[in-house]
Amino acid sequence: MEFEKFKELLKEDRCVRRYDEARRIDGEVLESLVGLVRYCASGRNLQPLRYRIVSSAEECAEVFPALKWAGYLPDWDGPVEGERPSAYLIQCLDTDLTQNLLCDDGIQLQALTLGAKTLGIGCCIIKSFNVLTIKERLHLPENMKPLYVLAMGYPVEKVVIDDIKDDDVKYWRDSNGIHHVPKRKAEDLIIK
């Protein structure tokens, strides 16, 4: 794969919060996505992360109320019915193996969102959720500690990247419903 194609994939892989809820994601597709993380680097090669796949409408309805959406959009309570995620991957740490996963969480989430994007699936990495609710409603084993919820679905919103202005990192939505994400310029990420 060429560098420019990979860069294009990264650019296209935006966090999406509104989905075509009716269009479900096949269980096998979700399993093949989880299969990708097998190839990820892992601190001390411990590979302590596991995934609970949530794909049925019934289970999705159990997960959704536990999530908080888009902290910078205070007037928006999250996606309405019909635009909610059609699947989730619950990233869990196997606490029997370690309490210290180094940065495996982010490494794997990046592989997952990029892999999903190649299939036209949009994702949103969610850290703000009720861990106990998720654990109970999905009957997770005691040693499985939910770290992140990856919300997934076929996107029905447009997301664009803007150059950051006045160091204001807050994303926002314009009158046409387009979601704008201010990003720092590449040169500002380099320590001179």
Is the Cβ of residue 82 or residue 119 nearer to a copy of itself in the bound state? 119
Distance CA 124, CA 149 (A): 8
Is the Cβ of residue 82 or residue 169 nearer to a copy of itself in the bound state? 169
The string of DSSP letters for 108-177 reads HHHHHHHHHHHTT-EEEEE--B-HHHHHHHTT--TTEEEEEEEEEE-B-S-EEEEE--TT----EE-TT-
Distance CA 6, CA 71 (A): 29
Least CB distance from residue 174 to a copy of itself, whole Å? Answer: 16
Is the Cβ of residue 81 or residue 142 nearer to a copy of itself in the bound state? 142
Is the Cβ of residue 102 or residue 156 nearer to a copy of itself in the bound state? 102
With beta carbons less than 8 A apart as the criterion, state whether 125 and 113 touch.
Answer: yes
Distance CA 37, CA 116 (A): 12
Distance CA 3, CA 145 (A): 36
Is the Cβ of residue 66 or residue 92 nearer to a copy of itself in the bound state? 92
Is the Cβ of residue 36 or residue 156 nearer to a copy of itself in the bound state? 36
Best CA proximity match to 112, nearest among 48, 53, 63, 172: 53
Least CB distance from residue 81 to a copy of itself, whole Å? Answer: 25
Distance CA 180, CA 62 (A): 30
Least CB distance from residue 16 to a copy of itself, whole Å? Answer: 11
Least CB distance from residue 21 to a copy of itself, whole Å? Answer: 22
The contact set with a copy of itself (CB under 8 A) reads 1-3, 5-11, 13, 15, 31-32, 34-41, 43-47, 49-53, 71-72, 90, 92, 102-111, 113-115, 118-119, 125, 127, 140-141, 144, 148, 161, 169-171, 181-186, 189-191
Least CB distance from residue 166 to a copy of itself, whole Å? Answer: 14
Structure tokens at 11: 């650019």
Least CB distance from residue 3 to a copy of itself, whole Å? Answer: 4
